[in-house]
Structure 1
Amino acid sequence: MTSDSRTLQIPEHQQDGAAQKSCYQKLSDEHVEELELYRKNGLHPVHLGDVLNNRYEVLHKLGHGTSATVWLCFDTQTSAWKAIKIIGASHSSDDRPELKFQLQLSRSDLVALPTDHFWLVGPNGRHVCLVMPPLGPSVSSKHQTMDLEALREVSMQAADGLAYMHRKGICHGDFRTGNLLFRLDSARINDLSKGDMLALIGEVTKIVVETDFGEEPGSISPRYLVHSLNTDIFADFITCQIAVIGLSLAFEITKPPKTSSVDLPYASPQLLLRLPPSTHSDVWALGCTLLEMQTGSVFGTAPFEIMQSMELLLGPLPKPLQRTWSRVYPEEMLHPEGNTEYLTWRSDVISEIKKHTRNADCLLKELAMSRKQSLKGLLAADDKNKPGSIVWQVPEKQVTQIGDLIKQTLSYDLHTRHTADAVVQHVWFDQARIHRKPRV
């Protein structure tokens, strides 16, 4: 294993003290976490070869976020491979949703849950660590290379997982393609020795951290940052089964939080209007997930952009939502240039939207072609790092069925928006039900 030669320098006076809070150099590398997250009550510094809880030997980093890092570890007691999620100190508690709902959700493997947890004390505080089986790549990284039948099976599993959570009285709160991961064949993975795994991993990329005097950083920061492992190395171990992850925002249906931190592209109109999350917003996020898997696209990343795309797909917002929108988003917030053309409730714009809004059949024919074109674009992009994409034609009958399914999940009206259980029973999933294999 080797590291690259890059270094990240931080001022000497920022080591170990409170003054370091916001002075770290920003990184533009998406494969590593921001160094400024390593601070008091922040992330725990980890190095390859560390042994956590006198048991789990760290071999590589699987992923990271603003509140946690995830590490591939060898369990020295059982000789099994584990994913250890180390939560930042300020986010650590015995009441975390992953632990709180563990018993309620334990009877199904549709949701990935910790098999154990422990506490770790480090220079930045006390951290709860979740022990989980290692998982494969996300649906967000794979859906554009999947054929229609694989998409249908994965879509039904996604709906199944959400419906299961709702039946148990729990909302997910952050449902999206990035929180759907393919399961690995655990028996075959656990047959790998440490040497086998190291050979599979290959070269490890590190970014060395130094002070501006060329010295190692203080104890609150790692000596180096590690590029996240490309889980494509597990291609031979990936199963056709997925698991729902990302339960950090989950909550009891009867006790919703006042606000939501869901990714904007998956936010329902009600969430965009700052209403509390619910099962309805979960189903909307499921609809966005299904739409993304079919088209390769989401509504947008900013409120004005999302609303434009939403209205072109679904028609104008109902008047009560329009009035709330105008209060929540003043004119200057809708578009960076303050262009009133983007005020979606203007009568001339609404008239134009109504004229061009498609019905389900026409809409999904267009969506099917949209996906086909996007795949052609991938093939023509001359990006050698992209896997080969499959160009396929969706049968007209399925186009109509998919259109109906997406329309039912993306209804503005909460009373007509499908429940997750109703989504699972949709006619488009009939073939997947017939050919479904038992989950292992």
Structure 2
Amino acid sequence: MSNSDTPTPSLTTLPLEAYTTDRSAALTEPLDWYGPGKLHPTHLHDTLSASSSRYRIAHKLDHGPHALSWLARDTHAATWRRVDVVHAAPEVTAAYARAADAQLARRAEMGGDDDDDGAVADARGLAIDRFWLRGPNGTHLCIVWPLNGEMGGFRWAVRDRSVMDEAWFVRQCAKIRGSAEAKVGSVHEITEEEMLAILGRPRVIVVDEEMMREVGVSKEMVREGQVPRYLVVRPDKVEEDLEYWLSGEAFIKA
């Protein structure tokens, strides 16, 4: 087991435009989802892994009452991954663990193993790894996925009009680069700056005293680090990619 072992960046290191005061319920998870036995407080630039600093958090992908889903860079394999950090409640952990184990078994049957580059998982949207994270709110199961996700999607609470999968990221990056010479061969070739340009730079809501009073967060919980210093807003809804669907590439794949 391991802690998230990168110091949380100071709030002053975030650009001014990162801050928002819009506390609409859909933008972030509620603060009362945190506390002993609940969600793990995670911040931008944290690194998560079983034994060393491996998965570096770049952005949030989605949030739900049972897990937070993060866009992370695998610093060992130079790949982009989604890391789901699961609620610490034993019954929630058990359900996610069963699902993850089934995914990993399917991947092994298809020829994947711990030493490959994730190609089997990328192609099928299967889980790549699972590990345990010990934090201030308990012990959390973390599941590592390709950006494809099983069944072609992974945004639970957002009704995206176009699936946010690896192919979508590649298409958006190609638009940013703009020239044939800068062709994007794989989602893993996309830089972090390009990823943030695609998703929109992260926005955060600082956890202040008013928010803590509203949900009964105690000073002890703050001292113990059981609530995050800020909540990260998930990216906006993905609209229909009309340019792609009218292209010859989409016609050929169909």
TM range (shorter): 0.5 to 0.7
Offset of residue 103 of structure 1: 4.7
Which residue does the alignment assign to 2:228?
222
CA distance in 1: counterparts of 2:126 and 2:99, whole angstroms: 7
CA distance in 2: counterparts of 1:234 and 1:124, whole angstroms: 39
- State the superposition RMSD in angstroms: 3.7
Distance 1:33 1:55, change over 3 A: same
| Contact 2:56/2:74, CA 8 A, preserved across alignment | yes
Which residue does the alignment assign to 2:70?
71
Q: Give the structure, 1 or 2, with the largest relative contact order (CA under 8 Å, sep 6 or more).
A: 2
SS in 1 for 2:32: helix
In structure 2, stretches of 5+ residues that fail to align are 1-14, 111-119, 171-184, 214-218, 246-250
Structure in which a larger fraction of residues adopt helix: 1
| Contact 1:98/1:114, CA 8 A, preserved across alignment | no
TM-score normalized by the length of structure 1: 0.37
| Contact 1:209/1:217, CA 8 A, preserved across alignment | no
- Bigger Cα Rg: 1
Which residue does the alignment assign to 2:179?
none
| Residues 282-319 of structure 1: CA deviation (Å, up to 9, x unaligned) | xxxxxxxxxxxxxxxxxxxxxxxxxxxxxxxxxxxxxx
Distance 1:120 1:231, change over 3 A: farther
**Amino acid in structure 2 at the alignment position of 1:66:** P
Which residue does the alignment assign to 1:49?
45
Q: Does 1:121 align with 2:134?
A: yes
Which residue does the alignment assign to 2:165?
183
Report the count of equivalent residues: 186
CA distance in 2: counterparts of 1:134 and 1:232, whole angstroms: 15
SS in 2 for 1:101: helix
1:5-404 pair list within 5 angstroms = 5-6=20-21, 28-53=24-49, 54-90=53-89, 91-93=92-94, 96-103=97-104, 105-106=106-107, 107=110, 112-135=125-148, 140-142=159-161, 183-185=165-167, 187-212=185-210, 217-218=222-223, 219-230=225-236, 232=238
SS in 1 for 2:193: helix
Offset of residue 114 of structure 1: 1.1
SS in 1 for 2:189: coil
| Contact 1:72/1:82, CA 8 A, preserved across alignment | yes
SS in 2 for 1:81: strand
CA distance in 1: counterparts of 2:96 and 2:200, whole angstroms: 38
Offset of residue 118 of structure 1: 1.1
Give % identity: 30
Distance 1:111 1:231, change over 3 A: farther
CA distance in 1: counterparts of 2:71 and 2:65, whole angstroms: 18
CA distance in 2: counterparts of 1:77 and 1:233, whole angstroms: 33
**Amino acid in structure 2 at the alignment position of 1:225:** L
Offset of residue 4 of structure 1: 2.7
SS in 1 for 2:103: coil
